[in-house]
Amino acid sequence: MEVAKESFTVMTDSVNKLFANKEPWQIVSVTAASVYASMWLWDILSDSEGICKKSRKTFFKWARKVPAVRRIVEIKMKKINDDYITEVEERLKTVNCIGVLPKEGLSGEDLIEEVNKQLSLGNYNWKDGKVSGAVYCLDDELRRITTEVYGLASYTNPLHSDVFPGVNKMEAEVVRMAANLFNGGPDACGTMTTGGTESIIMACKAYRDLAMERGISKPEMVVPITAHSAFDKAAQYLKIGVRTIPVDPVTLKADIKAMRQAISSRTCMLVGSAPNFPYGTMDDIEAIAAMGEKNGIPVHVDGCLGGFLLVFMREAGFELPPFDFSLKGVTSISADTHKYGYAPKGSSVVLYRDTKYRHYQYTVTTEWPGGVYGSPTVNGSRAGGVIAACWATMRYFGKDRYVEFTKKIIDTSKYIEDKLRTIPGIYVFGKPATSVIAIGSKDFDIFRLSDSLNKYGWNLNVLQFPSGIHICVTLLHTKPGIAEQFIEDVTREVTLLMKDPEKPVEGKMAIYGVAQGTPDRALVGDIVKYFIDSNYYIPLNTGEKKPPLKNNNEE
């Protein structure tokens, strides 16, 4: 009884805190992915002891069974769901929504007009280079060419290699060119995938199956806290255990000693980021590779974000530590052609040091009446057009242009980093390795700065545990005046905020502080699920406006 009362208080308290004075849950304007990633991060950071984390989870799960607590949660959740939906309705009020396939088709002309209307929704001028990451290159001529190339190959499917051998050849060439850039030897190999997440899932699948073949029944990956949430996603899909290790609080690089201690007989892979998404810092890949080699454990280097910058950096005149297959212990690398490879969205590569690893990535079924079926990645049918467009992008620019772009991006990033370091009241996290610069503040709530910059059209990424924001510099930010404008805006806004540093964050950014402070992580998870739901909501004129929330105990 005593415990029940206590849990009730803690729970209602946390719920009330969560919703106090919050305006409609405007979390919508930020990607669900980042919220997800950060929740996972907090759980682990706030409790390095897994047991503590587990008991807290159990506690909240149990607390939610208390009827009074459950009712409060349900009422609040309904409100959140409604707010999300209202927000979508507001966002889509200028366009028609369609729920049933219209009887008659549209002409090409009308369709293009319709598509342009949909694409003009949204408030950010992303073409002006004010959005962090997201769009890595915007070149009219490249876009014309990749569009034409996609069109030529849009109905091809490399699953049928006998029918479309040329598409397979283009994929093989993209993989080979990438393997070469990452210093792969003659045995280096890989596949294309649909994006960084799939590349990571594929490497995790390969190492899980390899470990199982070696007799490890419950494989575990050892992953720095800053590694991309795709590893956690892979672990969820593939039922791999996750041992998360902390990063050094100053350098924001994986704690090598902690990694060594986390290795067990179950370890199926070690992970290092080159660089990581939150802070743009690069783990000590040399040390991780040596540790993997010494213990006979595969090492995956996640170069999804910065890989296609790193491989050109030396030639662009920058020094950097080894991070690729030149290190013997590195057994696989993921790198996104749709980020700094500048290809249209939908492509990435996963590379292996040796063909023996790649076989564990493949899936083969031999007993299906439809035939013996083998496929390299998650997909069965694959988009030949995306492969062709990626191949075309690499051939269109050629190495020299990639080196030139890399120089521009790193120069711009270093300019931004250097200037940010001179602004009193904020600090830069660690030493950015490529194009991501993250900042925090010891004097004021950094989310206030994000909020202020929003007013000037800047859209930055939000970090938590501790609070921070980052800018990911792309080719769009290298245009004259953009970086200078950013520094000018940050300098002016920080100066203003420093006049009243204690003021709490307001508006939509408040949600992040709240999300960090909520001890019941499952609650935060549920909210994110409603947010994702809202992305699939369209207001239809069918009488019933809002989809009913699936709850038993509604008011």
Residue number with CB closer to ligand PLP (228 or 353): 228
Q: Which is nearer to ligand PLP, 197 or 459 (CB)?
A: 197
| Contact call for residue 196 and ligand PLP (CB under 6 A) | yes
C-beta of 477 vs 508, nearer to ligand PLP: 477
What's the closest the beta carbon of residue 535 comes to ligand PLP, in angstroms?
16
Question: Which of these ranges, 47-55, 56-64, 114-122, 273-281, lies near ligand PLP under the rule CB under 6 A?
Answer: 273-281
Q: Is residue 305 close enough to count as binding ligand PLP by CB under 6 A?
A: yes
User: 């007989």: which residue's tokens?
Assistant: 265
Answer for the pair 211, 196: CB distance below 8 angstroms, yes or no. Answer: no
Which one, 192 or 305, has the nearer CB to ligand PLP?
A: 305
Instruction: Identify the residue among 77, 189, 230, 297 touching ligand PLP (CB under 6 A).
Output: 230
Please name the residue ranges forming H helices in 301-364: 307-313, 355-361
Where does residue 309 fall: left (phi above 0), alpha (psi -120 to 50 degrees), or beta otherwise? alpha
Q: What is the CA radius of gyration of the chain?
A: 24
The sign one gets for the Cα dihedral 35, 36, 38, 43 is positive
Nearest of 526, 539, 530 to residue 88 by alpha carbon:
539
Select 69 or 304, whichever has its Cβ closest to ligand PLP.
304
Residue 302 interacts with ligand PLP (CB under 6 A)? yes
Residue 273 binding ligand PLP, by CB under 6 A: yes
Number of residues forming the site for ligand PLP (CB under 6 A) = 13
User: CB under 6 A: which stretch of 87-95, 238-246, 298-306, 525-533 binds ligand PLP?
Assistant: 298-306
Q: What residues between 398 and 427 interact with ligand PLP by CB under 6 A?
A: none
What does the alpha-carbon distance between residue 369 and residue 392 come to, in Å, rounded to a whole number? 38
Binding to ligand PLP by residue 25, rule CB under 6 A? Answer: no
Distances (CA, A) of 444 to 424, 440, 515: 11, 9, 18
Q: Which of 195, 219, 224, 272 binds ligand PLP (CB under 6 A)?
A: 195
* Residue 20: burial class (beta carbons within 10 Å; 0-12, 13-18, 19+): exposed
Residue 228 or residue 358: which is nearer to ligand PLP going by CB?
A: 228
Task: Give yes or no for residue 228 binding ligand PLP (CB under 6 A).
Answer: yes
Please list, residue by residue across 440-479, b when 16 or more beta carbons sit within 10 angstroms of its beta carbon and e when fewer do: bbeebbbbbbbbbbbeebbbbbbbbbebbbbbbbbbbbbe
- In DSSP terms, which residues pair with 224 in a beta bridge? 245
Q: Which residue is nearest to ligand PLP (CB)?
A: 196
Residue 304 makes contact with ligand PLP by CB under 6 A: yes
Task: Select from 40, 277, 342, 444 the one that contacts ligand PLP (CB under 6 A).
Answer: 277
- 299's enclosing H/E stretch is strand 299-303
- Kindly tell me which residue out of 7, 156, 197, 441 binds ligand PLP, with binding defined by CB under 6 A: 197
* E runs forming strands in 417-513: 427-428, 436-440, 461-463, 468-472
Piece of the chain touching ligand PLP by CB under 6 A; list 45-53, 73-81, 189-197, 407-415: 189-197
Cα Dmax for the chain: 72
Rank residues 88 and 192 by Cβ distance to ligand PLP and give the closer one. 192
Which are the contacts of 486, defined by CB distance < 8 A and separation ≥ 6?
Answer: 416, 458, 471, 477
At what angle are helices 67-91 and 521-535 packed, to 10 degrees?
Answer: 30
- Closest contact distance (angstroms) between CB of 532 and ligand PLP is 16
Q: Show the site string, 512-541: x = touches ligand PLP by CB under 6 A, - = not.
A: ------------------------------
Q: Which stretch binds ligand PLP (CB under 6 A): 256-264, 300-308, 361-369, 413-421?
A: 300-308
Q: Is the peptide bond before 275 cis (omega within 30 degrees of 0)?
A: yes
Residues making contact with ligand PLP (CB under 6 A): 195-197, 228, 230, 273, 276-277, 302, 304-305, 336, 348
